[in-house]
Amino acid sequence: MSIFVDENTRVCVQGMTGRDGAFHTRSMVEYGTKVVAGVTPGKGGQEMDGIPVFNTPKEAVDATGANASILFVPAKFAAGAVIEAAEAGVKVVVCVSEGIPTLEVSKIYQRLGELGTRMIGPNCPGIISPGKCKLGIMPGRIHEQGGIGVVSRSGTLTYEVVDQLGRHGFGQSTVIGIGGDPIIGTSFIDALDAYEKDPETEAVILIGEIGGTDEEQAADFIKANMSKPVVSFIAGRTAPPGKRMGHAGAIIAGGKGTAQEKMDAMAAAGVPVADRPSELPGLIRAALGR
């Protein structure tokens, strides 16, 4: 199985006819994702590669039964686009857009909770259930079907870890880049809970980074609720306090959010922590007793 998206996911691409939207739509279709509709205001009635384009998400959902959406729209329009998709009945929205103001994201989060829609992101690479559905910008060719769940705040580190897993014979159930902004739609805990309930996920890799307390909260959840093995890697050990390191949420402030605090929390929860990403396959192998 997989979590959040699978072979039955029907995808609507908001901003499909733009440069980035068209490129990644074709990549998702080539991977095997069921892209059934695109949305670009003012271009309703057109087609791209045989995929119908609609003016609004509601029109797209009503006509095609789309139940997931991915956005390739500028940050200033992204909040409205997410809400439009959710109000149309879409249940999973991937928001790749970077630079959405935190206050706007908090409003999105509240509204999505009312509508029962899950957002992945913003500022994320998306989600992939290998061999079933790619809803994002990640390189599909390095992912392989298997039993390892991967959840990460970092996109590029995710790709590195997935490649390492493949080289050591470990496929993945679902890989999620949750995003590096201070407020995100899907947390580590959301993903961990779903992996725990997925019968085909055998173990989980959690890739964290400095800033915030999400990793510490995840460690508490793992200790209290996870029966499946979890291993981790925390990025940013040498980051200086007070400087943002890449992601908007990757900042140590007031002595909080350091890599050491997160590593200590994981260790206290019984989660092995790798010194470098290349060690993760070995930790997985040991955790599974193989």
Per DSSP, the three-state class of 36 is: strand
Catalytic site residue 247? yes
162: alpha, beta or left? (left if phi > 0; alpha if psi -120 to 50): alpha
Q: In what order do the strands lie in the sheet with 92-95?
A: 47-48, 51-54, 34-39, 10-14, 68-71, 92-95, 118-120
Q: Do 262 and 213 contact (CB within 8 A), yes or no? A: no
CA distances from 66 to 72, 126, 132 (A): 17, 17, 16
The active-site residue out of 24, 143, 168, 247 is 247
Residue type, 155: G
Rounded Cα gap, residues 191 and 149, in angstroms? 9
Q: Catalogue the active-site residues.
A: 247
